[in-house]
Amino acid sequence: MKVLATRRYPGPAFDELVDVEVRALSELKSPRPDVEALVVANEPVPLDLLPGLRLVANYSVGYDRLGIEELARLGVAVSNTPGVLSAATADLTFALILAARRRIVEGDAYVRSGKWTTDWTEGFLAEELTGSTLGIVGLGRIGQAVARRAQGFELRVLYAQRTPAETALGEYRDLDTLLAQSDIVSIHTPLMPETRGLIDARRLALLRDGACLVNTARGEIVDEAALVAELVSGRLRAGLDVFAHEPNVPAELLQLQNVVVTPHLGSATRQTREAMTRIVVDNILAFERGDALVTPVTV
């Protein structure tokens, strides 16, 4: 089966693909009817250029940019990479919580600037993490991994999602109540029509003064302009790994001390990225054999 991969995805499993061409989608100038399987990292699939496509093996758990409805309508199978990236993404979430709350990036810049010249550091006082309340929006695979880490930090955990769960990991609240009762809010829902703009200006206004918003899910889940306005006013803090128009980050954010930004690094550990390649290849090999996909995406 002819496979087109938009880059050489990391790890030894990639070498198990026998007939693979590595090429960015932007380099496709004319239709390629020979391509039957496509490996992308949540990129729009150019169906007009790939008329023979039968499988999209998505190198990401989120599949919001693929054009999933059209793929389903055309009978193109889709797989993703759930689970293996939950720990890495939860770790990054906590890194952002700690960095944003404890002013680590500001402190780093201060030391590098040479301004630290006395044995008593003025300023940089932060809010204690222990005993504060973490609100998790979406207690799925990653949300649960964040909740487990929160126990070690002695946080009280609230969660919101469409369906309350039988869980000891946190107390259920409706979303508005969670926003009003949390010191830190971390977003872990997929991007879907129902979650686009879920955290809008009205909901941002429900957050407590000094609260910290962390987003390692998708930028479009938050009204980015409204968030920027709240951050410019200094009322909130934030740790952001994702943005509405990546790789573009609102210029105002880059001037602010109360925001920590990372370039979509949630799954970016060597072990996780290699495990994602393993799942992508396993899905392609299963499809080739005529077996069920290992991690199918269903609409």
Closer to ligand NAP by Cβ: residue 6 or 86? 86
Closer to ligand NAP by Cβ: residue 77 or 92? 92
Which residues form the interface with ligand NAP (CB under 6 A)? Answer: 61-62, 82, 85-86, 89, 137-143, 160-163, 188-191, 194-195, 216-218, 241-242, 264, 266-267
Residue with the shortest CB distance to ligand NAP:
140
Distance, in Å, from the CA atom of 160 to the CA atom of 111, rounded to the nearest integer, reads 39
Q: Which residues have C-beta within 8 Å of that of residue 258, sequence separation ≥ 6?
A: 100, 231, 234, 236, 237, 238
Best CA proximity match to 223, nearest among 209, 234, 206: 206
Asked if 188 is an active-site residue, the reply is no
For 54-79, letters b (16+ CB in 10 Å) and e give ebbbbbbbbbbbbbbeebeeeebbbb
Shortest Cβ distance from residue 69 to ligand NAP (Å)?
Answer: 16
Asked if 218 is an active-site residue, the reply is yes
Closer to ligand NAP by Cβ: residue 37 or 96? 96
Shortest Cβ distance from residue 267 to ligand NAP (Å)?
Answer: 5
Q: Amino acid identity, residue 249?
A: V
Shortest Cβ distance from residue 295 to ligand NAP (Å)?
Answer: 11
Shortest Cβ distance from residue 60 to ligand NAP (Å)?
Answer: 7
Shortest Cβ distance from residue 110 to ligand NAP (Å)?
Answer: 28
Catalytic residue among 23, 149, 264, 288: 264
Continuous segment of H or E residues that includes residue 237: strand 237-240
Determine the longest span between alpha carbons in the chain, in angstroms: 69
Distance, in Å, from the CA atom of 5 to the CA atom of 37, rounded to the nearest integer, reads 8
Asked if 264 is an active-site residue, the reply is yes
Closer to ligand NAP by Cβ: residue 35 or 90? 90
Catalytic residue among 16, 70, 246, 252: 246
CB atoms within 10 A of CB 294: 18
* Cis-peptide, bond into residue 193, ω within 30° of zero: no
Shortest Cβ distance from residue 175 to ligand NAP (Å)?
Answer: 6
Cβ 196 vs Cβ 220: under 8 Å: yes
Closer to ligand NAP by Cβ: residue 17 or 41? 41
CB atoms within 10 A of CB 27: 7
Alpha helices in the chain (DSSP H): 68-73, 86-102, 104-113, 141-152, 175-181, 201-206, 224-233, 270-289
- The HSE-up count of residue 113 (CA atoms within 13 Å, CB side) is 8
Closer to ligand NAP by Cβ: residue 85 or 155? 85
Q: Which residues are identified as catalytic?
A: 218, 246, 264
